[in-house]
Amino acid sequence: MRRPILFASAFAAAVVLAVAFFTVHAANQPMPTVGQVAPTFTLPSQDGSQISLASFRGKWVVLYFYPRDMTPGCTIEAHNFQRDLAQFEARNAVILGVSVDSPGSHQQFCTKEGLTFRLLADTSHRVVDAYGSLGNFAGVTIANRNTFLIDPTGKIAKVWTKVNPQTASTDVLGAIPGVGASPNSVKPPTRTN
């Protein structure tokens, strides 16, 4: 009976140490706010093509930042966006995932997981920082899990921070007007923590 108690105590101590060691640090830049014009960018996608935010004017843009390709939470989040892709497209919305991984890493992730939307590589961290989403996990630079909904005029319509990968896609989908709705019929802008 003593062995399970020792194991449980050792496990609890390891969890406490891991939490203390693996802290996520805040970004250097302030996060854009609702109503603000979204910071522009051009980044390479998984196929190497350059993708510019300005090219999506007139569409809703789901800009989601995630820590790393092929990690459990990021895979769940990406699978859910892929699952709902047709619903986003029906609402005149595009999905852009951004991390600090390379285009090659994104290509592997897309191939392995069957992802067809664009994943953008911000290896210089400029875009992640411009969106207040630059983080540090155990000494490794990452993108914090934040999502920005950008309206067809290029303004931030809604912000989600510390996103739950399980519900991210349905949360964002619920904030975009349905088929046939005007861009002005979106719910009032809010910031969700």
Domain CATH for 44: 3.40.30.10
The answer to whether position 41 is within a domain reads: yes
Higher-scoring residue by pLDDT: 45, 179: 45
Instruction: Name the band, by pLDDT with cuts 50, 70 and 90, for residue 28.
Output: low
The answer to whether position 16 is within a domain reads: no
Average pLDDT over residues 2-23: 40
The answer to whether position 110 is within a domain reads: yes
Q: State the chain's mean pLDDT as an integer.
A: 84
**Which domain covers residue 51, as residue numbers?**
25-192
The answer to whether position 7 is within a domain reads: no
74 is catalytic: yes
Q: How far apart are CA 185 and CA 157, in angstroms?
A: 11
The answer to whether position 171 is within a domain reads: yes
pTM for the model stands at 0.79
Q: How far apart are CA 98 and CA 123, in angstroms?
A: 10
- Integer-rounded Cα Rg, in Å, for the chain is 18
Q: What is the pLDDT of residues 102-118, one digit of tens each?
A: 999 999 999 999 999 99
Among 109, 117, 19, which Cα is nearest to 67's? 109
- Residue 94 pLDDT more than 90? yes
Instruction: Name the band, by pLDDT with cuts 50, 70 and 90, for residue 178.
Output: confident
Say which DSSP state 162 is in.
S
Whole-number pLDDT of residue 183: 42
Higher-scoring residue by pLDDT: 67, 11: 67
The answer to whether position 18 is within a domain reads: no
Q: How far apart are CA 178 and CA 111, in angstroms?
A: 30
Q: How far apart are CA 160 and CA 178, in angstroms?
A: 20
The answer to whether position 5 is within a domain reads: no
> Which percentage of the chain shows pLDDT scores above 90?
73
- Residue 193 pLDDT more than 80? no
Count of domains for the chain: 1
Q: What is the pLDDT of residues 36-75, one digit of tens each?
A: 999 999 999 999 999 999 999 999 999 999 999 999 999 9
Helix (H, G, I), strand (E, B) or coil at 73: helix
Contact 131, 148 (CB under 8 A): yes
* The one catalytic residue among 74, 128, 157, 172: 74
The answer to whether position 81 is within a domain reads: yes
- What does 25-45 look like in DSSP terms, one character per residue? PPPSSPPP-TTSBPPP-EEEB
